[in-house]
Structure 1
Amino acid sequence: MTQPHIDLLIAGGGIGGLATALAVARTGRRVHLVERAEAFGEIGAGLQIGPNATRALDELGLLDGVLDTAVKPRRGIIFDAVTGEKLTTLDFGEKFLERYGHPYIVTHRRDLLDVLLKACQEEENITLSNGRELVAVQEDDDKVTVEFKDGDVWTCDLIIGADGLKSKVRTLIDETQPVFHGHVAFRGTVPTEQVADFISSEDVALWIGPGLHLMQYPVRGGTLYNQVAVIESPRYAAGRSDWGTSEELHEVFAQTCGPVRRSVDMIEAERGTPVSDREPSDTWSSKRAVLIGDAAHAMLQYLGQGACQALEDALSLAGHLDQAEEDLPLTAIKGYEQDRIERASRCQRVARPWGALWHTRDETTLALRNRYFKQRADDDYTELDWLYSPSINATPNAEGKKYETGQLHHV
């Protein structure tokens, strides 16, 4: 059994963990990141990255690399999934870029992870370890002790929990559990030519209907089309055990129009993935542990902000650690929380009713929703300003570079 001591340990090698490792290492700190899987990888396929997150990637010097394989869609379109009617459009063109300073892009999760991983591998202050499954964590006044599945025990001065929805590090802070709402996601990609005759390869398409939605967009430079079909499982609501199956997916989508049914037929997943979130928290830290990403603020996918908020976390935490006068001060962690908790909690809270609006079964709400969507202009961005506008406060690192802290304009 080994028991090395690590100054700063990051648990979790997903997008948030790697981004945090990179941002912190560039402030001059040594970082050791552990990942439970034998190789770095991301569950899922497509990823929407709003301008708040492309801004963060630009701050990390990674945006150009991400853009090599990403797609800049010309617009987002919302359709009624039952009737096929176009409800509204969001223009991602020049006005959008002028307003927010950075583009909205869509990419494959693996492509983004590869860019982050390569940058971390090239950073001399980062050590990466795979096959390290964290099974226990304990904190005392002067250290955190972590135990791995293989029996190894390490200690560290500070642990950053980037270990996702069911975070082991989070048990140092509270014992709350994720909340499952009965939403199940079915994901897959298809070659773009298979959908080119009825779907635009330049757009993000969202089809919304009673208890369901389908999100579609191009990835891998436009060669693949990503699809995510989500249902509010009637079988789960009825207490049945056979929920979240491909059979149930097709039962729920049977009410939709032809293009939607045809698209869903191309999703080969036999079972869907349960989609959970967490209640907003007042704190994400203890004396020697701090959380980022889903470990801190897991949210439903309806704002497309899960990975985006993790990228904001990375820059904020790195900026505050860089400004710290002591090696690992509690004040830096609390400064990070002050920057980030209100904003990320708002994303958590807004995502739930936004999803409920997409999925409404109430005829009055549906009629009002559709009427509102049809009346808005394609370049009306006012409801996005709180999410996408450039930061009004940034924390400089030792070299004077500005790290975004996530305090964006609110309407």
Structure 2
Amino acid sequence: MTQQRIGIWIIGAWGGVATTAAVGLSALKQGLTGTSGLVSENPYFEKLNLKNWDQFVVGGHEIRDTSFVEAARYFSENSGVFHPALLQAVEEDLKAYDQNVKPGTLIHVGDTIRSLAGDAVRKFDTESLQETLTRLTNDISEFQKQHDLAHVVVVNLASTEPPVEESAKSLSLAELKESLASAVTSPVPASTLYAIAAMNAGCSHLNFTPSAGTDLPALIELAEEKQVLHAGRDGKTGETLMKSVLAPMFAHRNLNVMSWVGHNIFGNLDGKVLDDPVNKSNKVVSKDHLLTEILGYKPQTLVSIEYIESMGDWKTAWDHIHFKGFLDTKMALQFTWQGTDSILAAPLMLDMVRFTEREWRRGNKSGIMTHLSSFYKSPMQATTPEFERQYQQLEQWADTVSEES
């Protein structure tokens, strides 16, 4: 008997990370690439009986007028990320995925993201809030029905929104429902509307962005009501990953960190959006809180993020750590992290989808998945900010799942 497949519904479907994930999924399915960068392919997780790569189907919501095929071709030409021969090999799969992408929403995305929107999504500008939620929910449900999918995992990979309004942080679920039913403007941003649609469709939800998503009291309530799994927020792929590894070293050796400066440059679409100071503020907060949590005190910090168009999808992070040792001697450590943003992030998204599906298949279908904390800069309800301890939690979860099998 053929097993039912699993859907991956991506918010920001034709963005860099999503396109890289789609190309990678097809390449993995066809055996055209190795498994470097995929946590779920570590030998430790073989016992989990995770879904094979050919058991996933991709769809999603998008606000721009493009396609997986066009986006992948642009990445290949602009950043040298994909070899042309690989793109030719995966093109049919990308075209099939393109058929599953629907227009998203521009409600509370901010002016910078709205400026990227194409004609297909703008025609829904006159919708009411309820009409938008119904449409987004139906898109996901129809995707699941059309492809006879056992389950769908919704993943937010869209560009970073402006910070959520303070009033939304105190809304109960009852208050949110009442507001959505009667208000002219949404009390929550697009990322949260997508999350509500996902939960209404009975889907698990992963937020790989700094945007609010499900990280609001009302959405945590909704997840319990709808009995769905969720996790977030903001994928930990580069500089912050290094911080979560290095900061414990300073703490454990009792070396006093006086200042930690991080300068980031990159040139992809996400970088363009973050060039807007309002959107950037959301990302900076996500990257900067970690040190205080690990060290137990707050050193002087500076996090800068700059859009340099010529960089394309390549990003460089330069960090300068000024610390004090024995006899109050001042010393410094510097590191440079260079990589392609999408190549670092895409496999982690695929990993989380596999782990989420396994938790759903296990029968635990409600609540925040804290065992995925190692994938996030600002993990919801995390018990530790240190990467190594977070990764141990993932392994402990795997032990528990395999013992139950």
Per the normalisation by structure 2, the TM-score is 0.27
Instruction: Pick the structure with more strand per residue.
Output: 1
- Structure (1/2) with the larger helix percentage: 2
TM-score in terms of structure 1 length: 0.27
